Chains A and B, each alone.
Chain A
Amino acid sequence: MLLLATLAACGRQQGEAETPEPGAGVGATLENKGSDTMVNLALAWAEAYSQIQTDLQIAVTGGGSGTGIAALINGTVDMANASRQIKPEEVEQARANGIEPVQHTVAGDAIAIVVHPSNPVDGLTIPQLADIYTGRISNWSGVGGEDRPIVLLSRESNSGTHVFFLENVVRQGLEGNDALFSPNTLLMPSSEGISAEVRQNPNAIGYDGLGYVTADQKVVDVALGEGRPYIMPSVETVRDETYPIARGLYIYTAGEPQGAVQAYLDWILSPEGQAIVQELGFVPLQ
């Protein structure tokens, strides 16, 4: 479940006598934890980077954005991956522990709405999605589909995708709107849980990062509201800001990054690092 993959970048302890660079010493290890949306991306980065920096080990773990930020607050990781921005309470907690979280935007992402391939519904508006996920619409016929019950799928509440979806879709980005997910929402512990259910259940609707959508799920176009254009999530529609549910992907560090961490972040933002972003179906920064 927990996508735990430790990348041991062939840390051959060559040249013990050489003085190691400060912060990027021989056999140094970076702990990188957080967003499950970003875990494959973080792994791909770590893998590619280990080809360049052979004596640096980067340990990548998933668990959710909240998990990564909690680990940063507790001082157990060097970098926390998050698919949502850090909350003010979390910043306070971090400061109480003497840690100043610094945000680095490393990629862009769209939240795709996915349904079973046989589902005839092609487009949904944000208000419709809000009604579906709060339980006001519980049958597909309510949004122009077949007469079937709607099965709501969501990521667990520690997922950044979940929090982003709550704020921007369920609450439609409105201040003071305290709508909640319907209690009937199935909270899946992983992206794979969502795609497995969407693939085989014609009643299901789910959401996930664009990079996790496989060909055997149907992506629904999304419109801001009635009468507005229905937009397909893609690199282009995220870039030109026409797709309504897009977001940044972040890495948080404890204080301004130094040494190995800084070198790694610089590399991630370089064309080489951003090429990997594109490869994995996310949206590279310009």
Chain B
Amino acid sequence: MRNREFVVETVIRVAGFSAIFFVILIFLFLMREGAPAFWEISPDNFFGERWYPNEDLFGTLPLIMGSLLVTLGAVVIALPLGLATAIFIRELAPDWLREILKPLVEILAGIPSVVLGFLGMVAVSPLVREWLNVPTGLTAFTGSLMLAYMSLPTIISVADDAIDAVPKAHRDGALALGATHWQTIWRVVLPAARSGVIIAVMLGIGRAIGETMAVMMVTGNAARIPSEWNALFFPARTMTATIAAEMGEVAQGSTHYQVLFAIGILLFVVTFVINAIASIVVIRGGPRRGGRLMG
């Protein structure tokens, strides 16, 4: 009996630690393959404005800015939509509708990104071109739309849980003081759920910045510096799409190969920072919510 207990505990412990172990291994592998790029090519080249690896031009600036542009666009679109949907599902929708909406939102998350990418390429991008009257519909904005759609389920689910976690007493209190339904949601429920909502946004960003396939299919992949005010409506090339499009081609160990891994390191760092911020928000946000409950 005790033996069995020991075995089960060990298995669970190993499984738990393996997650950390694998992340460290992945990071070490990335460093081993990618780090040489940082000293083998000059910083001028690495942070230059031209990405054309066939001619040893490894400027990652257009790629970094492309990723940021597409991701920011996606968040700006997805945040209000996701938040509104979460509020509707939790605070306004009748029970029967909520029971339908919740699982539907989760099904959204299951649509493969290549399907969305194809949809974006053949259906959304022509509309973008016609409605916005831009030269081509394959733009950063089209990518943002697809990414927004993809990060919506994450944002909705997490925000919904956060709103659900706000104690009923808060709402009752607000309503008893004469607040309207809307005032209760906007002034009481949302501020109380703030930390959860921020996590939702962070996870949404994490989902968006790492997404590859759909982005590769709809953003046009032109490695240009988004310098104009309306750069969102021109093509862009993201870090992920670059890795995906070019990794298959390179000879192992070549500079190009190392640079692609170096881009992977940059991505890893960015996602790590986002997750770290989200964790800090959770830790700081937790007790404050409890404190308010007392007051």
Contact = CB atoms under 8 A, between A and B. Distances in A.
B121 A157 contact: no
Contact of B136 (A66, A74, A156, A203): A203
B86 interface: no
A196 interface: yes
A156 B137 contact: no
A120 B240 CA distance: 38
Contacts of B135: 148-151, 203
B113 to A, nearest CB: 11
Given A188-B221, A201-B136, 13 more contacts: A66-B250, A70-B252, A74-B251, A93-B251, A156-B246, A178-B55, A186-B220, A186-B221, A187-B220, A187-B223, A196-B122, A201-B137, A203-B135
B264 interface: no
B224 A187 contact: no
Interface in B171-228: 213, 216-217, 220-225
A158 B251 contact: no
Listed from nearest, the 4 A-B pairs whose CB atoms lie closest are A158-B249, A66-B249, A186-B220, A149-B135
Contacts of A203: 135-136
B222 A183 contact: yes
22 contacts: A63-B248, A66-B249, A66-B250, A70-B252, A90-B251, A148-B135, A157-B52, A157-B53, A158-B248, A158-B249, A166-B54, A178-B55, A180-B50, A183-B50, A183-B222, A184-B222, A185-B222, A197-B125, A197-B136, A200-B129, A201-B137, A203-B135
Interface residues of A, number: 37
Interface of B: 50, 52-55, 57, 62, 114, 121-122, 125-126, 129, 135-138, 213, 216-217, 220-225, 234-235, 237, 245-246, 248-252, 254
Interface of A: 1-2, 63-64, 66-67, 70, 73-74, 90, 93, 148-151, 156-158, 163, 166, 178, 180-181, 183-189, 193, 196-197, 200-201, 203-204
A70 B222 contact: no
Given A1-B114, A1-B213, A70-B251, A186 B246 contact: no
Contact of A64 (B213, B249, B251): B249
Contact of A67 (B55, B122, B225, B248): B248
